[in-house]
Chains A and B, each alone.
Chain A
Amino acid sequence: MAEETTVRQSFAARYRNFLLGALAVVLFFAAWQAVFLWVPFNPLFITKPSLIAAGYVDLIESGELFHDLAVSSVPFFLGLGAAVIIGVPLGILMGWRPRVGYALDPLMTIFYASPLVALAPLLVIFFGVGVWGKSIIVFTLSVFPFIFNAYAGVHAVDRLLINVVRSLGGGEWALYRKVIFPSVLPYIVAASRVAVGRALIAVLVGEFFAASEGIGFAISRFGDIFAMDRMFGCILTVMVIAVILTEGIRWAERAAFPWRVGR
């Protein structure tokens, strides 16, 4: 009997960690709703979950939300794609070619550490309010995690593996393909978790400054007309998307790198 209970855990025991997290989320919204039983409620400045839910039904039924999300997703993916395509090779080059690293490290650190969001209005002036302007803002904010993680990844490459490939007659290009890139890949996936968050912020910021559609535009417009319920509905949607993307990458990380299981 004792064996039976250890092998077959109850539902609660098996998903305990997940349930604890979910419980905290539910309690948070319950507390938010409950606090207005005692605190006076002014719908101009604040909202509560029951009203958000009601407004959310409207947002979905009118198709507004999906339209705005579709519009925003274009610069999100374009900017993020460009960040991978440019950031990863640049970071690898900085790591593998010491002179490139010494030359570019300070400059990149300055950019990474500075509040690039503040440059968004300038970028809008240069590149316009359309999809390209927004893509460039996304790129600017999300490229640095890729550069720095690829850079760090190259430094962690096992020198022995470099010698192995060299000793078997591999040249420079073979080193990149057979050792450096596969070693750096997990670092790039880790970078994309950070970059996705920054790219979401970048889309919103770009649309705050100048846009006529998109989820960021919707948030700022609902704010301007004091439609707090819809504004929060949009914000919560972005939060959920951020969580799904981040967790999705975490899951893909475990699935894609079976050799790291043993570490």
Chain B
Amino acid sequence: MTGYIQGRNVGLTFRPPNRAPVRALGGFDIEVEEGEFLSIVGPSGCGKSTFLSILLGLIHPDSGEVLMHGRRISGPGSDRAMVFQEFGLLPWRTVQHNIELGLELKKVPKEKRRAAAARLVSLVGLTGFEAHYPHELSGGMKQRVGLARALATDPEVLLMDEPFAALDAQTRDLMQVELLRIWREAKKTVLFVTHQIDEAIYLSDRVMVMSKRPGRAKRIFAIKLPRPREYEMRVTPEFNDLKLEIWNTLKDEIAA
């Protein structure tokens, strides 16, 4: 049986004009199972975000390929959606209209868009803020909108590019709990890029550690901690053992 998402020898070199080429991804294999929560950690500039953009279909690898359902990913598709670190909300649109954006682009009729947005507003806990503009929202609320927008087109795969990195520590903790709840309810496959080992362990079924540039999958850790996960789990010996092990794998790659 072939994997749900398969990357084979995925490599990419950026060739900026008038500058030396940069080998961003060094060619590596990866398999993602349907419904799993996979986190990707790695040093800055290792190509984690680039890899997500390839999965999204916005950029293309120059070696190897990424398959989903056995078909090559050649562009954006409604089976995948991205949640961006800097939210990417359209500032002139209200919460409701930001959430409806993807449906609008797919020419979904107005009443269906309304209904879908209303359902998602309550799923992400933004009831009462439908008519607010992004500048009136806190960072955490903005990312709830970003998440609702990604979920609106009902994708199979959620790609999350350091979605909580712009939030303060308490909001981040709260959003992690919320994300697990939504993931349970919405039943999506999630690829989650982060800098935080804690966050990766707490959320994931597997954590992939990437090497420094050119990025490769260095090692993949299976997180066998039971679900549903409580916040207290973060102070258990099992959690800390994993954290230490992942840190030891990662630290050689970080040039301070």
Instruction: Please report A residues at the B interface, Cβ cutoff 8 Å.
Output: 158, 160-161, 163-170, 174, 178-179, 182, 257-263
Contact = CB atoms under 8 A, between A and B. Distances in A.
Contacts of B91: 259-260
B235 interface: no
Contact of B90 (A161, A166, A257, A260): A161
A25 B185 CA distance: 67
B58 A165 contact: no
Given A169-B77, A261-B135, A164 B105 contact: no
23 contacts: A160-B84, A163-B84, A164-B82, A164-B84, A164-B88, A165-B101, A165-B105, A167-B58, A167-B76, A167-B81, A167-B82, A168-B76, A168-B101, A169-B102, A169-B105, A170-B105, A178-B90, A182-B92, A257-B92, A258-B133, A259-B91, A259-B133, A259-B134
Given A160-B86, A166-B76, 14 more contacts: A164-B82, A165-B101, A167-B57, A167-B58, A168-B76, A168-B101, A169-B78, A169-B102, A169-B105, A170-B105, A257-B92, A259-B135, A262-B135, A262-B136
A263 B91 CA distance: 10
Contacts of A261: 135
Interface residues of B, number: 25
Contact of A169 (B76, B86, B88): B76
A164 B90 CA distance: 9
B153 interface: yes
Given A169-B102, A170-B105, A160 B58 contact: no
B15 interface: no
A174 B135 CA distance: 23
A168 B86 contact: no
Interface residues of B: mostly helix, strand, loop or mixed? loop
Contact of A174 (B84, B92, B105, B149): B105
B92 A259 contact: yes
A165 to B, nearest CB: 7
A259 B93 CA distance: 8
5 closest Cβ contacts across the A-B interface? Answer: A262-B135, A168-B102, A164-B88, A259-B91, A160-B88
A201 to B, nearest CB: 33
A170 B76 CA distance: 9
A257 to B, nearest CB: 7
Contacts of A167: 56-58, 76, 81-82
A156 B86 CA distance: 17
Contacts, number: 60
A254 to B, nearest CB: 14
A175 to B, nearest CB: 10
A166 B82 CA distance: 11
Nearest to A186: B92
A5 B136 CA distance: 30
B106 interface: yes
Contacts of A262: 133, 135-136
Nearest to B98: A164
A11 B56 CA distance: 59
A168 B84 CA distance: 12
Contacts of B76: 166-169
A102 to B, nearest CB: 14
B78 to A, nearest CB: 6
B201 to A, nearest CB: 28
Nearest to A174: B105
B88 A168 contact: no
Contacts of B106: 169
Contacts of A179: 90
A43 to B, nearest CB: 56
B105 A168 contact: yes
A158 B90 CA distance: 10
Nearest to B85: A160
Nearest to B106: A169
Contacts of A158: 88
Contacts of A258: 133
A144 to B, nearest CB: 26
A167 B150 CA distance: 10
Nearest to A160: B88
B117 to A, nearest CB: 14
A32 B233 CA distance: 82
A147 B149 CA distance: 34
